[in-house]
Structure 1
Amino acid sequence: MQVVTGEEMRLIDRYAMDELGMKEEILMENAGRAVAEEVEKLYAPSQDDKKVAILIGKGNNGGDGFVIARTLIEKGCDVNVWLLPDAKELKGAARYHKELYEQSGHTWAYWSQKDKVDGHKNDDIVIDAMLGTGISGELREPYRRASAVLENGSAQVVAVDIPSGVPSGEEAVPQSAVKAEVTITLQTPKCSAYLYPAKNHYGKVVIVDIGIPKKAQAAVEESKQIWQEEDVSRTLPEKSPSSHKGSRGKGLIIGGSTSMPGAPSMAISACLYSGAGLLTAALPESILTSVSVNNPEVMLLPLPEKKGYIAPEIISTDFTFDSYDAVAAGPGLGRYQGTKAVVKKLLQGVKAPLVLDADALYYVPELEQEIKERQVPLILTPHPGEMARIAGVSVHEVNKNRFSLSRAFAVQHGCYLVLKGPSTIVTTPNGDQFINTTGNEALARGGTGDILTGMILGLLLQKGDVSSSISNAVYLHGAAADLAVKHEFHSYSMVSTNLIRFLPLAFRSIVSSL
């Protein structure tokens, strides 16, 4: 499912109207009816005698509001319509639907005439159809006051397309923006629905189809898509009854240190649970026993070590990577003098997909030439702090510009970038982006990133499309956390290894639908 900024949505609308010949009035009718039907599904106001108030602005959102009002009234709902601007300010399709609403025998009043002290205390549902994606900065009156009244009231706030005042992209969210319990988004969700703090204003996001053809949506050059369950089902490689361990991929994980033996252990388990046929772990010799106890299926390759870390002497050994279908490095590796040499050898010597995570990312800024010279896929999996270091910006800038920063870095360095966090974004070397919506706060703990690294490696070994393999791993990683919290754990009382137990169930939920 496509995700857009406000400007991109306007481009889609213009293409639908100017190139395909769709009438704006019809699009607005479709939008308003779709929202009204969703309100009826969510709250059943016509059946439960709930009072509905609709706050209407002067733009297209206001026109949608008049269609919503007319549709709900004709369904038997108790609806009051409040217009915030002067009626003369409504133009085009919005004016057309206001007049159609009036000619249908329905009335409205100016919001300025409403008792603002009492707010909407007698309303059960307030529909925010005030402002759309075309505004920026703090709300002005009377919208600012209306937003404050809604925040202090007890009615359920339902926003049309986007809460009034919330930007559609990566811009700052004004304090005066509306906070909704539900946002009914038209046709395509907006980028800000997957960014904090804007996400806090959306509440539950429901997406409704308003009939815009896919050809119009293709007019947007930058591709941003939500990666959904059907995408995983469509792209997860099927296993033949005649398959064997060799056909399921041969992988290598490099990492570990005496202070962090658990990190590679979790990555190994996750990789094995994600389909790897044969897996080797290259680790400091001193931690081999502790890792093998938890993962008897893995083959072990002892590496020279120095003070508990993999020694830089690895670069002068006969160690090669030619027999592996994919390699991952970083979990528990540590930041020390030899890390840079190890990562450099990997970048130069691995001629298969290479995943770099955790401490393997630390020296990425100093190895840009080696990164640019790679001819095979490189996958970087930073959290915001690691992204800040490798991009040379602050963590604040990373969180503020997750889409644009990810795309710029991935395109510039020719790599796949997995920017972790709420709504993890996978970006390909050509700038395509895939947004994940699975997962919960249980993932905010040490070790879950190591598990994701193992899962990415395990799915890369299945030799499917690289981008799909990465996105599938991210989706299933979050799905496992959702299942863990749903069936057994509270997000407070869960550790990372608990997540691994739910990987089989996450895979089964997908495979059973194939």
Structure 2
Amino acid sequence: MAESAIDSSLLKKSALPRALYSGHAVRELDARYIAQAQVTGLALMQRAGRSAFRHAMRRWPAVRHWLVLCGTGNNGGDGFIIAAQAVQQGHDVRCLLLGDTGKLQGDARRAYEEARQAGVAVETFSDTLLHQALVNAQLVVDAMLGTGLTGAVRAPYDAAIDAINQAETAVMAVDMPSGLCSDTGTLLGKTVQADLTITFIGLKLGLFTGKGPGVVGELVFDSLGCDDDIAAAVPAVAIRLDWATARVGWPKRSPTAHKGDFGRVLVIGGDLGMGGAALLAAEAAARSGAGMVFVATQPEHVSGYLARRPELIVRGVRHRSELLPLLEQVDAVIVGPGLGQGPWGQQLLQAVRTEFDGPVLIDADGLNLLAKEQGDPDGNGAGKRKLGNHVVLTPHPGEAARLLGCSVADIERDRIRALDSLSNRYGCVVLLKGAGTLVKNADSASVPTLIDAGNAGMASGGMGDVLCGLIGALLGQGQEGVSAAILGGVLHGASADLLAAELSMAGMLAGDLPLAAARLLKSSETRPDTTGAVHV
């Protein structure tokens, strides 16, 4: 794929703002904008409605039969403006209000009156009316709940959402798909499955993490004219990063460089029956800039590793004593891929923790062993001795749950809170995998980074091992732990996006990613030199 094709398929998100907010923060942005710009709430609502209508026509230019579902809050007000726009353009519109007209207040009430004056016949919702309207509708506009939802979806919204999701009709959600929590990305019961979501003023975290990416569809943002100074005055809960931004931070190479300038990385893992994990990590490190890559694995794997990738320096290690000389030769260590939780893995992890003081990435069974230490009152668990920001942990939600002694549901219920808990408890950099991967260091004041890259094709074995190699290569090249985790995480997701565009999500293998990553790095080498690190 040519670089122009890479740009068009992977860099289109770069127009989105980087700051991600809670629903409460966006409401504060809205209030500040109204006060500072001396614009009315109704005027903003009109801008939002007109913008949503334009984007709907861009996506579905042939649509003529609309069904607009409105709640009684400001989200419903946006829906009334959309309905008015559609009627004024000669479209057939059914508009159903979920709730009593007496509950409409303020700007939402004024938008309702404007819609009535434009010729919109607003009907009170019923199951019968909804099913009748869905028969002819070509587009459903979800303007029911928006960002204000905090508890479970109740009647009649749950029935309306069920009917929308079962109908074979295009759906545009206004601000948020109804049922999706704007703060956490959790589903608060029944949730609209949108084909297009248009959101306003500020990007909400829930659109990008947890279950959010699975229900948002195409995401469109309109600031409605809210400028950067106003947005900067409200603290973000996370910073979004995509490949378009991250690629300029990849370490640059001097024309006179040699392999010693780019770090010696050691991968420790590959117990019997799990040799592929360490090999995938090592290949990824080699493909993403590490000067030399060493592997410490079970002796049975040495010949196979060298046959597959002769560039690696592979050592068979049975005991801790055989690992110690390798630790003296390297700049960074990856421990965990295929490590196992038996005596072999335990002694190698313990050797790294006691004998190596450089940057370390711990993944997979290395994390499971840490979790066991944490739960052992007689052990020297990580909770009793902070690991430090030179250590990077890369758990998926199951591993994160074991590290915190909670359930996976607890992790996914609020991923930002889980990330904070992990970084505080272990005192190190944490990359929490999943849809909307999050990265944070142990500084309680630091703002997490959300990695806006990746796709469902990554739900297959070995993907985490490749991520280890990408981050480990950066650690070996001198990047700080948090910068290495962020850059490696974005490259990982972007490489999978490239493969999905070229091949398919279903046919993607972890072993395909290292070469895709190397191809993406070409675009970082052709950009003007700016900085050697991502600062957060």
- TM-score by length of structure 1 reads 0.87
For the pair 1:427 / 2:440, whether they are aligned, the reply is: yes
Q: Which amino acid aligns with 1:28?
A: M
Partner of 1:208: 222
CA distance in 1, matches of 2:185, 2:492: 29
Q: Which amino acid aligns with 1:356?
A: I
CA distance in 2, matches of 1:511, 1:94: 51
For the pair 1:339 / 2:345, whether they are aligned, the reply is: yes
CA distance in 2, matches of 1:33, 1:405: 38
Partner of 2:287: 273
Could you say what secondary structure the match of 1:120 adopts? helix
For the pair 1:41 / 2:58, whether they are aligned, the reply is: yes
CA distance in 1, matches of 2:209, 2:63: 36
Could you say if the C-alpha distance between residues 393 and 143 of structure 1 is closer, same or farther in structure 2, counting changes exceeding 3 Å?
A: closer
CA distance in 2, matches of 1:371, 1:226: 32
User: In 2, are the aligned partners of 1:4 and 1:189 still within 8 Å (CA)?
Assistant: yes
Could you say if the C-alpha distance between residues 377 and 211 of structure 1 is closer, same or farther in structure 2, counting changes exceeding 3 Å?
A: farther
Q: How does 1:370-385 map to 2 (within 5 A)?
A: 372-385=385-398
Task: Give the number of aligned pairs.
Answer: 501
CA distance in 2, matches of 1:400, 1:165: 14
Could you say if the C-alpha distance between residues 20 and 154 of structure 1 is closer, same or farther in structure 2, counting changes exceeding 3 Å?
A: same
Could you say if the C-alpha distance between residues 504 and 264 of structure 1 is closer, same or farther in structure 2, counting changes exceeding 3 Å?
A: same
Q: CA deviation at 1:20?
A: 6.6
For the pair 1:31 / 2:48, whether they are aligned, the reply is: yes
**Of 477, 484, 496, which residue of structure 2 is paired with 1:469?**
484
CA distance in 2, matches of 1:15, 1:210: 13
Q: How does 1:38-437 map to 2 (within 5 A)?
A: 38-44=55-61, 48=62, 50-102=64-116, 105-112=118-125, 115-170=129-184, 173-221=187-235, 223-303=237-317, 305=318, 311-313=319-321, 319=325, 321=327, 324-365=330-371, 366=373, 367-369=380-382, 372-430=385-443, 431-437=446-452
CA distance in 2, matches of 1:451, 1:140: 43
Could you say if the C-alpha distance between residues 115 and 82 of structure 1 is closer, same or farther in structure 2, counting changes exceeding 3 Å?
A: closer
User: In 2, are the aligned partners of 1:268 and 1:295 still within 8 Å (CA)?
Assistant: no
CA distance in 2, matches of 1:87, 1:345: 69
Q: CA deviation at 1:61?
A: 0.7
Q: CA deviation at 1:132?
A: 1.4
Q: CA deviation at 1:222?
A: 5.4
For the pair 1:455 / 2:461, whether they are aligned, the reply is: no
Q: Which amino acid aligns with 1:332?
A: G
CA distance in 2, matches of 1:136, 1:222: 19
Q: CA deviation at 1:402?
A: 2.2
Q: Which amino acid aligns with 2:139?
A: I
After alignment, is 59-68 or 269-278 more displaced? 59-68
After alignment, is 396-405 or 19-28 more displaced? 19-28
Could you say if the C-alpha distance between residues 149 and 362 of structure 1 is closer, same or farther in structure 2, counting changes exceeding 3 Å?
A: closer
Q: Deviations over 1:293-316 (max 9, x none)?
A: 22222233443x1xxxxx24458x
Could you say if the C-alpha distance between residues 141 and 331 of structure 1 is closer, same or farther in structure 2, counting changes exceeding 3 Å?
A: closer
After alignment, is 351-360 or 235-244 more displaced? 235-244
User: In 2, are the aligned partners of 1:227 and 1:475 still within 8 Å (CA)?
Assistant: yes
CA distance in 1, matches of 2:505, 2:146: 35
Q: Deviations over 1:149-199 (max 9, x none)?
A: 423433312110112233223486344433322222224343333455454
Q: CA deviation at 1:373?
A: 4.4
Q: Which amino acid aligns with 2:399?
A: E
- Taking only the aligned residue pairs, the percentage that are identical comes to 29
CA distance in 1, matches of 2:505, 2:157: 38
Could you say what secondary structure the match of 2:161 adopts? helix
CA distance in 2, matches of 1:287, 1:179: 47
Could you say if the C-alpha distance between residues 279 and 150 of structure 1 is closer, same or farther in structure 2, counting changes exceeding 3 Å?
A: closer
Could you say if the C-alpha distance between residues 287 and 64 of structure 1 is closer, same or farther in structure 2, counting changes exceeding 3 Å?
A: same
Partner of 1:485: 500
CA-based RMSD: 3.0
CA distance in 1, matches of 2:267, 2:510: 19
Q: CA deviation at 1:280?
A: 2.3
User: In 1, are the aligned partners of 2:20 and 2:205 still within 8 Å (CA)?
Assistant: yes
Partner of 2:519: 505
Q: CA deviation at 1:125?
A: 0.9
Q: Deviations over 1:188-219 (max 9, x none)?
A: 34333345545443333333332333344345
Partner of 1:308: none
Q: Which amino acid aligns with 2:83?
A: A
User: In 1, are the aligned partners of 2:20 and 2:236 still within 8 Å (CA)?
Assistant: no
User: In 2, are the aligned partners of 1:255 and 1:283 still within 8 Å (CA)?
Assistant: yes
CA distance in 1, matches of 2:330, 2:172: 53
CA distance in 1, matches of 2:521, 2:340: 31
Q: Deviations over 1:9-37 (max 9, x none)?
A: 22333343456755423332332232222
CA distance in 1, matches of 2:261, 2:164: 59
Partner of 2:7: none
After alignment, is 203-212 or 32-41 more displaced? 203-212
Could you say if the C-alpha distance between residues 393 and 314 of structure 1 is closer, same or farther in structure 2, counting changes exceeding 3 Å?
A: farther
User: In 1, are the aligned partners of 2:30 and 2:201 still within 8 Å (CA)?
Assistant: no
CA distance in 2, matches of 1:220, 1:322: 47
CA distance in 1, matches of 2:328, 2:383: 18
Could you say if the C-alpha distance between residues 326 and 16 of structure 1 is closer, same or farther in structure 2, counting changes exceeding 3 Å?
A: farther
CA distance in 1, matches of 2:509, 2:98: 51
Q: Deviations over 1:78-109 (max 9, x none)?
A: 44433333333222222333344455x43332
Could you say if the C-alpha distance between residues 16 and 463 of structure 1 is closer, same or farther in structure 2, counting changes exceeding 3 Å?
A: farther
